[in-house]
Amino acid sequence: MTTQHKIAIIGAGNVGAHCAYKIAQKELGSIVLLDVVEGIPQGKALDMMQAGAVEGFHANIHGTNDYKDIKDSEVVVITAGLARKPGMSRDDLVAKNSQIMDTVIDNVKKYAPNSIIIVVSNPLDVMTHRAWKKSGFPHKKVMGMAPILDAGRMQYQIAKMLNMSIKDVYAEVLGSHGDLMVPIPRFSTAKGKPITEMLTEEQINNIVEKTKQGGAEIVKHLKTGSAYYAPGSSAAKMVEAILKDAHQIMGVAAYLDGQYGLSDVFLGVPARIGRGGVEEIVEIDLDDKEIKLLHNAAEAVRNVCEKSM
């Protein structure tokens, strides 16, 4: 390995474990995988390191139940919390996951006060805001994962509709992680061409709806859990951009301070990510309808934040 970065992942369930595995494959640094359930992080860490022998990557993953082990972590990924079950909305998870988040943040402040926090726990925009408020960290050092995931789901739907490689598709999604996300079809492209020039309005509406329901569809199939491969990979991509100081533009749930006419809310927007965390909010030229949808999403997030804080 060429780096000695330290990354902590809080929550060794499916999302946290897959995130750890992707980070290990990328050889980004040493990983601490923490969970409150004894044996789970230890067993998964051992399994992943042995997989490295098969797949050809060197991994240093420490499974633990002790928060002391996250000391001096540079990035902390928080996946801890209850997963959705069929019929549940992300907002249904607020009360329980708020308690879990408070415990996690107390320990992050104690042991990794200089870290950058990436929140994956649902409801994501609300939990990201709570992590920021409870931590007292600068807002640029706290962000949520969702827009990368939502864009990935839209890319999949576009590629499927056009019978095209997903590698040739780009999707732009803003807003909250849930029913009020704001896919932007006119900024979404296939082989560099806007999909609005390639698909009918009905086809685009179908893609947008399937994107919004992407997580719920997976929950419906799994019945006892929610998505984890795409969320885990999305968080790992953010970790990579931070540790490599990539200054890469990607969709994240970031704190808005006047951008898009919004303030004091975490919402999905394009942002430049690097060693300093969220280095810049990128403001794309939205039309009146898109701005209204974004503001509606912000209002909904604020309402849940006010009820839960």
Q: What single letter denotes the amino acid at residue 1?
A: M
- Tell me whether residue 1 is in a domain: no
CA angle 221, 222, 225 (to 5 degrees): 140
The DSSP-derived string for 123-173 is SHHHHHHHHHHHH---GGGEEE-HHHHHHHHHHHHHHHHHT--GGGEE--E
Distance (Å, rounded) from C-alpha 132 to C-alpha 105?
9
Are 159 and 189 in the same domain?
Answer: yes
The domain boundary, picked from 145, 176, 201, lies at 145
Are 170 and 289 in the same domain?
Answer: yes
Distance (Å, rounded) from C-alpha 236 to C-alpha 230?
10
* 158, 159, 164, 167: CA torsion to nearest 10: 120
* 59, 108, 233, 245: CA torsion to nearest 10: -80
- Chain-centroid distance of CA 196 in Å reads 27
pTM: 0.95
* Catalytically annotated residues: 177
The domain boundary, picked from 145, 167, 193, lies at 145
Are 152 and 139 in the same domain?
Answer: no
The one-digit pLDDT tens for each residue of the chain (309 residues) are 444 899 999 999 999 999 999 999 999 999 999 999 999 999 999 999 999 999 999 999 999 999 999 999 999 999 999 876 777 665 677 888 999 999 999 999 999 999 999 999 999 999 999 999 999 999 999 999 999 999 999 999 999 999 999 999 999 999 999 889 999 999 999 999 999 999 999 999 999 999 999 999 999 999 888 999 999 999 999 999 999 999 999 999 999 999 999 999 999 999 999 999 999 999 999 999 999 999 999 999 999 998 877
The domain boundary, picked from 77, 111, 145, lies at 145
- How distant, in Å, are the alpha carbons of 78, 151, 186, 197, 275 from that of 190? 33, 13, 11, 10, 31
Distance (Å, rounded) from C-alpha 25 to C-alpha 47?
13
Distance (Å, rounded) from C-alpha 112 to C-alpha 206?
44
Are 77 and 167 in the same domain?
Answer: no
